[in-house]
Amino acid sequence: MNGTEKSRLKSPWITHINTGGCNGCDIEILACLTPKYDIERFGILNKGNPKHTDVLLVTGPVTKKYIHVLKNLYDQTPGPKVVIAVGTCACSGGVFKDLYNVEGGVDQVIPVDVYIPGCAVKPEAIIDGVVLALEKLKKLQEGTWKEVGE
């Protein structure tokens, strides 16, 4: 692992995107930034700008109106990037699954690397999820990651 790859694991900048959820998970994400959880100690910064982002934290079920926005944000994020579905709604659509205005989970629209279930998710779970996503990034860099079923 060279310097750049090591730096990637030490400085994951996040952007959180709400695709039409109830805002519960967003509040838990922001709770991670508070002194109690202090995710900045892992070098994580909340950028709010896809062009500066490495980790996309997506919350909420994807509504039909939001599909092109989410795709656009994903495309604007320079690689290497990881996507984390935060909360039950983002993982599968949750209670909103099969609603007439809802497409479903985030993985229906963009590829998702890590799923964090919970309604709402605990801040500890979000931190765990980001660390897991970094683990995946590391293995992708080393070329040892195998998708399930490969």
Partner 1 sequence: MNTIDIAIRILLFVLAPAFGCLFFGIDRKLTARMQNRVGPPLLQPWYDFKKLMGKTEEIVNHIHLVFAFAYVAFIMLALGIFLMDGDLIVICFSLGASQVFLALGAFSVRSPYSHVGAHRHLLQMVAVEPLLILAAVTIKLQTGSFVLSDIYARSTYPFFGINTILLLSLPVAFFIVILATIVDTQKSPFDISTAHSEIVSGTFVEYSGPYLAITKLGHWFELSLLFAFVSIFFSSDVLWISIAGKLTLDFAVFLLILVIDNSTARLTIDRLVKFSVRIGLPLIIINIVLIVISSMGVIA
How many residues are recorded in the chain? 150
By CB under 8 A, name the one of 1, 23, 27, 43 that touches partner 1. 43
Q: Which residues, 21 to 40, sit near partner 1 by CB under 8 A?
A: 35, 38, 40
CA atoms within 13 A on the CB side of 41: 7
**Measured from the CB of residue 83, what is the shortest distance to partner 1 in angstroms?**
16
C-beta of 48 vs 95, nearer to partner 1 = 48
The CA distances from residue 57 to 38, 39, 98, 113, in Å, are: 17, 14, 23, 11
**Is residue 48 within the footprint of partner 1 (CB under 8 A)?**
yes
Q: Which is nearer to partner 1, 119 or 127 (CB)?
A: 127
Distance CA(126)–CA(28), nearest Å, equals 8
Is 4 or 144 the residue whose CB approaches partner 1 more closely?
4
Per CB under 8 A, the list member of 23, 27, 49, 139 interacting with partner 1 is 49
Tokens of 75: 């495309």
